[in-house]
Structure 1
């Protein structure tokens, strides 16, 4: 290669370089459009901010151990325990189902070595005055746990799986409700 060919190659922009410059330019222009979901300034479909709308949800008692932990997690995630006297304009209702799937079986003694807890929550958020459905969905999680020959160890492992399932369901539900309430 001669020096004139090398100089032409350095000065001449490549297609890859132009595409990269265009992508960076578009990203810089779109960067001002970003707004955090849980900001005080993100508008909600039910009025006010999304953060305020999440605080206005009333959670009724849910049946079962998973229901108890799910309700507690949702109250903490939505409200944070800061404003118990806040005006409640929305109501959360849920139906929970759980089942256990046996994954492996020890054929020597015929007992299951491990299992998977499958927890499913079908829920909806409605306006208290009108009953209009604002958000709804179905979420499901799978939590594995070990089963032991010691009975109480198995009971505790199953309970820990229920608590983990409730926490994971609460996170999924919070994200979906927040997205649905964003205008």
Structure 2
């Protein structure tokens, strides 16, 4: 058996088999932000999405504002002329603050974790057809301080980071659906 491994013919056959498999599988992969199945550019399809306001739970509107701003910039922040809108992105979200670390001496939270969940659906502009829907979740942590305003600013920065994470998830999922649709 050790003799068969050292034969040059076996090596060449194995190399040819690996190269053949690589060539066959190479056609299966398509760049996410490359040309779509319909022939349109992904940038043009993403720019054709109208981002509605995010419906957030009571007193959680700040995360919704940051999320909408991030999505508008991610989808159509190219500086190109305006593209007519063909799709509508509807979102509904909530956030929850968790305090995993509590000081034993002061009984105050030393860190906080913001957990955000956004349910989204991409529809045609007239609302007759739903292209995709899903749920995006993310977390962002921050340190709490004795100084009240430092803690508030840290929480706001965490909300901004969380909005970027959620926007990236939503954009990627929408792009993965639009890239394979032949007639979006």
TM-score interval (norm. to shorter)? 0.7 to 0.9
Residues 160 and 73 of structure 1: CA distance in aligned 2, closer, same or farther (over 3 Å):
same
Find the structure with the greater CA-based Rg. 1
Map of 1:158 onto structure 2: 155
Residues 12 and 36 of structure 1: CA distance in aligned 2, closer, same or farther (over 3 Å):
closer
User: Retained in 2: the 8 A contact 1:94–1:121?
Assistant: yes
Between the two proteins, the alignment pairs up a number of residues equal to 174
* Distance in 2 of aligned mates of 1:82 and 1:170: 19
User: Given the alignment of the two structures, is residue 43 of structure 1 paired with residue 37 of structure 2, yes or no?
Assistant: yes
Residues 156 and 98 of structure 1: CA distance in aligned 2, closer, same or farther (over 3 Å):
same
User: Given the alignment of the two structures, is residue 121 of structure 1 paired with residue 121 of structure 2, yes or no?
Assistant: no
* Distance in 2 of aligned mates of 1:166 and 1:84: 26
User: Given the alignment of the two structures, is residue 88 of structure 1 paired with residue 85 of structure 2, yes or no?
Assistant: yes
Choose the corresponding residue for 2:137, options 124, 136, 140.
140
Q: Which range is displaced more, 165-174 or 53-62? A: 53-62
In the TM superposition, residue 87 of structure 1 has moved relative to its aligned partner by 0.6
* Distance in 2 of aligned mates of 1:57 and 1:104: 41
Structure ranking higher on relative contact order (CA contacts 8 Å, 6+ apart)? 2
Segments of structure 2 that go 5 or more residues without pairing to the other structure are none
User: Given the alignment of the two structures, is residue 178 of structure 1 paired with residue 175 of structure 2, yes or no?
Assistant: yes
Q: Which range is displaced more, 28-37 or 137-146? A: 28-37
Segments of structure 1 that go 5 or more residues without pairing to the other structure are none
In the TM superposition, residue 181 of structure 1 has moved relative to its aligned partner by 1.5
What TM-score do you get using the length of structure 2 for normalisation? 0.83
User: Retained in 1: the 8 A contact 2:53–2:90?
Assistant: no
What TM-score do you get using the length of structure 1 for normalisation? 0.83
User: Retained in 2: the 8 A contact 1:135–1:181?
Assistant: no
User: Given the alignment of the two structures, is residue 73 of structure 1 paired with residue 70 of structure 2, yes or no?
Assistant: yes
